[in-house]
Amino acid sequence: QVQLQESGPGLVKPSQTLSLTCTVSGGSISSAGYYWSWVRQFPGKGLEWIGYISYTGSTYYNPSLRSRVNISADTSKNQFSLRLTSVTAADTAVFYCARDRNEGLDVWGLGTTVTVSS
Amino acid sequence: DIQMTQSPSTLSASVGDRVTITCRASQSIGSWLAWYQQKPGKAPKLLINKASTLQSGVPSRFSGSRSGTEFSLTISSLQPDDFATYYCQQYNSYSRAFGGGTKVEIK
């Protein structure tokens, strides 16, 4: 079965770039029909969809984050990554990667907490 | 962009109660709506997609429905394991906005 695991620094300084990687096992990120998403959850709050990269490599981002977000994929490693630039304390959250079959997010990683602080 | 308005934000109920959570889309999304359950410290779990299609392994006490741009998640008889936070998400457009969430608490 497909499994996803997030990895990356748990602490990022303000104004720097947050970088996370999601490693996919049990399936290929190049498989047709799949989109690979990032979602975040602020402390004690709801979910915010960040964006996705599709099996074709096309990307789409939450308009509220578009100027700061980049999602890329490394098919040789079966990974996809998130970069969020110019972070502030307001970007502190739990970040999840998830598989999207255009029918909802059906497989999720466990999540990783990223704190923005000096 | 499509906005999803979910209500109520908190719901207090007892075991055995029938509960309904509502999600309204700011424009037509067809039936392209999913419902998730999230428990503290865990990733969300997909319960329903296409507005009313129950995912494998999800108890039949959960159901989803659509009326125009209004969607409902109903739990027919609330069980102890159902106390959690529920989210809707649209996937009609390229963007995948979530609703604000509904926390189902023990009364």
Kindly report, residue by residue over B49-94, the tens digit of the pLDDT: 999 999 999 999 999 999 999 999 999 999 999 999 999 999 987 8
Average pLDDT of the segment spanning A70-80:
97
pLDDT at res. B50 = 97
Q: What is the mean pLDDT of chain A?
A: 96
Q: What is the mean pLDDT of chain B?
A: 96
Residue B74 CA to residue A46 CA, distance in Å, equals 20
Inter-chain residue contact A49 with B97, CB threshold 8 Å? yes
Which residues of chain A have a CB within 8 Å of the CB of B89?
47, 49, 104-105
pLDDT at B95 over 90: no
pLDDT at res. B93 = 78
Evaluated on CA atoms B40, B45, B51, B57, the torsion sign reads: negative
Amino acid A28 reads S
Please name the residue that has the structure tokens 């890329």.
A72
Inter-chain residue contact A46 with B55, CB threshold 8 Å? no
Tokens of B17: 């109660």
